[in-house]
Amino acid sequence: MSVFDVEIEALRGGSADLGQYRGKAVLVVNVASRCGLTPQYSGLERLQERFAGRGFTVLGVPCNQFMGQEPGTADEIAEFCSTTYGVTFPMTEKIEVNGDGRHPLYQGLVGSPDAEGHTGDIRWNFEKFLIAPDGAVAARFAPQTEPEADEVVAAIEKNLPS
């Protein structure tokens, strides 16, 4: 089973249908609106704009597990992302990424190491997982890694569908 088979709701209800991304590269990011890293939304949106036409999408996954930094309702989160950062990429429902309530999406992601070898629990908001077109985790990036960092862009370019 790949991440494309996981069932998850869209931010404003209905299925997010991850299967629609099969054959594309997807950057899955646990996001929060009241975090010191929240300005990363700008870089994520620029990645979306830059690579969307080449078989890529960012997938924002709101999470309130880190100091309550994503307390809003679905409508509040959507409004904030749209008006503050011009976000056009898809967003899922708010989920848990760690602990007993960890969503199946993240159960399939956390075993993948980042460049420093970290596996397991999500460390903070804005941890990033690049999913290859076949559904395998191609790369994991620490929360502090900027979305447009050279290593992120290089990994995306390497995993774009041919």
pLDDT (tens digit per residue) in 102-138: 999 999 999 999 999 999 999 999 999 999 999 999 9
Q: Name the average pLDDT for the chain.
A: 97
Task: Give mean pLDDT, residues 57-77.
Answer: 97
pLDDT of residue 1: 74
Task: Give mean pLDDT, residues 51-62.
Answer: 98
Structure token pair of residue 7: 């069932």
C-alpha to C-alpha distance for 92 and 155, rounded to whole angstroms = 23
User: Can you give the length of the chain in residues?
Assistant: 162
> Is 35 marked active-site?
yes
Q: H-helix or E-strand containing 138?
A: strand 137-141
pLDDT of residue 75: 97
Residue ranges of alpha helices (H) inside the chain are: 40-51, 74-85, 104-107, 150-159
Task: Give mean pLDDT, residues 72-95.
Answer: 97
Nearest-10 Cα torsion for 136, 138, 142, 143: -60
C-alpha to C-alpha distance for 27 and 48, rounded to whole angstroms = 9
| Choice among 8, 10, 35, 142 that is catalytic | 35
With a CB cutoff of 8 Å and minimum separation 6, the contacts of 139 are 114, 115, 129, 130, 151, 152, 155, 159
Angle of helix 40-51 relative to helix 150-159, nearest 10 degrees, comes to 30
Give the start-to-end residue ranges of the domains of the chain: 3-159
pLDDT of residue 147: 98
Q: Is the pLDDT of residue 158 over 90?
A: yes
21-48 per-position pLDDT tens digit: 999 999 999 999 999 999 999 999 999 9
Q: Is the pLDDT of residue 162 over 80?
A: no
Q: Is the pLDDT of residue 154 over 90?
A: yes
Structure token pair of residue 95: 């989920």
Q: What is the pTM of this model?
A: 0.98
C-alpha to C-alpha distance for 109 and 3, rounded to whole angstroms = 8
**Beta pairing class for 56-62 and 25-31:** parallel
Instruction: Give CATH superfamily name and number for 3-159.
Output: Glutaredoxin (3.40.30.10)
